[in-house]
Structure 1
């Protein structure tokens, strides 16, 4: 992309120079046809630009995930993700503004590097939104175990560790069916290997064997009652089974141990908005998720925003606009 920018500047400068050389004492104006041809040459695919910079940020996150240490806190993970995005924002902002200058009367290009400015935030969130939708490494980073690891989290059994690591190679590629037998072997070698149990349950869930996943998560919680992975995933499974009361109950159990967990509020909000038509509670839960995501600089803030927007549309149709804005106000969210 940096090479592309250099070529772009050379092209523009070459055109300006060639025009000037025709007659140093005359100004030259391109005809409408020539102007259109030039604009077609210089016009950039903004979607492609975003994808290229976001993919670079995604690769950065992937590198961090491969090198991260066991036990890294959630704050460390969030900081590294933000750093990966920050590395791309300035160049992405510059390319986009150059592109905009071709069709604008204002030819001054100002690159804002103040991370707290609305301008910087806009381009940061462009990349962040793309990552939330399309970056597997980001999803893996944000869903990684955040609870304090115990002696049962890992295993001292060499065969269990070997099989576990083989499973991890597949699960990071979202090859759940291929990963499943390795985690089964890891659990057979060490039945108290919590991380192996959790990943085995994930594989069962992803391959549609929901009851087996619930059973394995139950075993994991017997060994580690505060295990965040099973506490987060059990309500998701009940949601997939369309047992919404049990899903809500599961999310509330998660909040009992982790009162600031955004996923619990997000999950309850999604169920209320999408499935049970409990819109007011749904918006309240989703606002709480949004505030926590924002505080933690989580890319999943955009998902909460989307759900709040969906709920607003439906509440407006039902004549409940006033109730909607009151819920936002109660959660200290302003609408501009």
Structure 2
């Protein structure tokens, strides 16, 4: 009367033994799970070649172009039969989400700040020499040596913004957050519109669990660039850490929209945060409020 799993297994065994057509189809079938790692690797290699000395919009477009080219060059369209716009978009999002999780080149590119402005670099040759040597040590994760070189660079040129930023980053890597913040403050004194120092101060305060101070600097980041999703995402995170779940959800929705508008793969992170917030709302018996906030902000996503 019913077909159970054992019946299915017996049928598949018979087919594999006696049906050439089934075996031909089965051996040719390719799953998304099998294709995804290879496509991600191709896209990641491409992203690793993108210059960091370009605008954020160009970085996001380059990531999207690398992802699309990886799908095409891997024959995924043919193998997975991505014959409709919906299927192509769905697989493109899967690859983008996988890149955020598994491609360090994406993070390096998105969060670099190499656009040259006044005081970004130094006209002092010796300060530049210390700075470049510091980068080598920092990339080798020898942060104590990098710190000594960056400190020499800023001593020779106190207005050397990139050196102050990298000094703060190196201190942060060894969990000396107060010293990191002081370095970022020096960078901010030179250039109060420098988004790197502002965001890094917010991040450092987050590590210190000083969420109110972190929120202050994320708000500063939004003032400097209202369209930068990182400020909205960071503010959502600090609100969530303070259990301000309604404010957090609104900022997470803002961040997701801005990530999508800028073609950033980090829309996946905002969606994960929204999913986590949903569980917090449910735990507090506020699911109706969650749905209302989403409806008011035109958010319609599938939550696990």
* Equivalent residue in structure 2 for 1:184, among 139, 148, 151: 151
SS of corresponding position for 2:199: helix
Contact 2:212 2:238 in 1 (8 A): no
Q: Are the structure 2 counterparts of residues 323 and 161 from structure 1 closer, same or farther at C-alpha, using a change threshold of 3 Å?
A: same
Instruction: Write the distance in 1 (CA, Å) between the matches of 2:87 and 2:142.
Output: 39
**Which residue does 2:4 correspond to in 1?**
none
SS of corresponding position for 1:64: coil
Does 1:311 find its partner at 2:293?
Answer: no
Does 1:210 find its partner at 2:192?
Answer: no
Instruction: Write the distance in 2 (CA, Å) between the matches of 1:179 and 1:89.
Output: 39
Contact 1:49 1:92 in 2 (8 A): no
Q: Are the structure 2 counterparts of residues 166 and 92 from structure 1 closer, same or farther at C-alpha, using a change threshold of 3 Å?
A: farther
* Equivalent residue in structure 2 for 1:64, among 47, 50, 58: 50
What are the superposed Cα offsets for residues 122-141 of structure 1, whole Å, 9 maximum, x if unpaired?
11111111111122221111
**Which residue does 2:16 correspond to in 1?**
32
SS of corresponding position for 1:297: coil
Q: How far does residue 110 in structure 1 lie from its aligned partner after superposition?
A: 5.0
Q: How far does residue 95 in structure 1 lie from its aligned partner after superposition?
A: 6.5
The answer for unaligned runs of 5 or more in structure 1 is 1-29, 98-108
Does 1:121 find its partner at 2:89?
Answer: yes
Does 1:73 find its partner at 2:59?
Answer: no
Q: Are the structure 2 counterparts of residues 213 and 142 from structure 1 closer, same or farther at C-alpha, using a change threshold of 3 Å?
A: same
Q: How far does residue 189 in structure 1 lie from its aligned partner after superposition?
A: 3.3
* Equivalent residue in structure 1 for 2:260, among 283, 290, 294: 294
**Which residue does 1:161 correspond to in 2?**
128
* Equivalent residue in structure 2 for 1:139, among 107, 113, 120: 107
Contact 1:194 1:220 in 2 (8 A): yes
Instruction: Write the distance in 2 (CA, Å) between the matches of 1:331 and 1:37.
Output: 50
Contact 1:286 1:304 in 2 (8 A): yes
What are the superposed Cα offsets for residues 33-89 of structure 1, whole Å, 9 maximum, x if unpaired?
366877886676754532222122111111113xx5x4x221111111111111112
**Which residue does 1:152 correspond to in 2?**
119
Instruction: Write the distance in 2 (CA, Å) between the matches of 1:161 and 1:59.
Output: 30
Q: How far does residue 297 in structure 1 lie from its aligned partner after superposition?
A: 0.8
Instruction: Write the distance in 2 (CA, Å) between the matches of 1:330 and 1:57.
Output: 36
Contact 1:92 1:123 in 2 (8 A): no
Q: How far does residue 263 in structure 1 lie from its aligned partner after superposition?
A: 1.1
Q: Are the structure 2 counterparts of residues 31 and 279 from structure 1 closer, same or farther at C-alpha, using a change threshold of 3 Å?
A: closer
Does 1:278 find its partner at 2:260?
Answer: no
Does 1:94 find its partner at 2:73?
Answer: no
Q: Are the structure 2 counterparts of residues 155 and 43 from structure 1 closer, same or farther at C-alpha, using a change threshold of 3 Å?
A: same
Pick the structure with greater CA Rg. 1
**Which residue does 1:15 correspond to in 2?**
none
Q: How far does residue 164 in structure 1 lie from its aligned partner after superposition?
A: 2.1
Contact 1:89 1:120 in 2 (8 A): no
Question: Aligned-residue CA RMSD in angstroms?
Answer: 2.6
Q: Are the structure 2 counterparts of residues 56 and 64 from structure 1 closer, same or farther at C-alpha, using a change threshold of 3 Å?
A: same
SS of corresponding position for 2:118: coil
Q: Are the structure 2 counterparts of residues 162 and 335 from structure 1 closer, same or farther at C-alpha, using a change threshold of 3 Å?
A: same
Farther off after superposition, 39-48 or 186-195: 39-48
Instruction: Write the distance in 2 (CA, Å) between the matches of 1:46 and 1:170.
Output: 40
The answer for unaligned runs of 5 or more in structure 2 is 1-13
Instruction: Write the distance in 1 (CA, Å) between the matches of 2:301 and 2:78.
Output: 30
Q: Are the structure 2 counterparts of residues 272 and 95 from structure 1 closer, same or farther at C-alpha, using a change threshold of 3 Å?
A: farther
Instruction: State TM-score, norm by structure 2.
Output: 0.84
Instruction: State TM-score, norm by structure 1.
Output: 0.77
Aligned length, in residue pairs: 286
**Which residue does 1:20 correspond to in 2?**
none
Instruction: Write the distance in 1 (CA, Å) between the matches of 2:244 and 2:151.
Output: 40
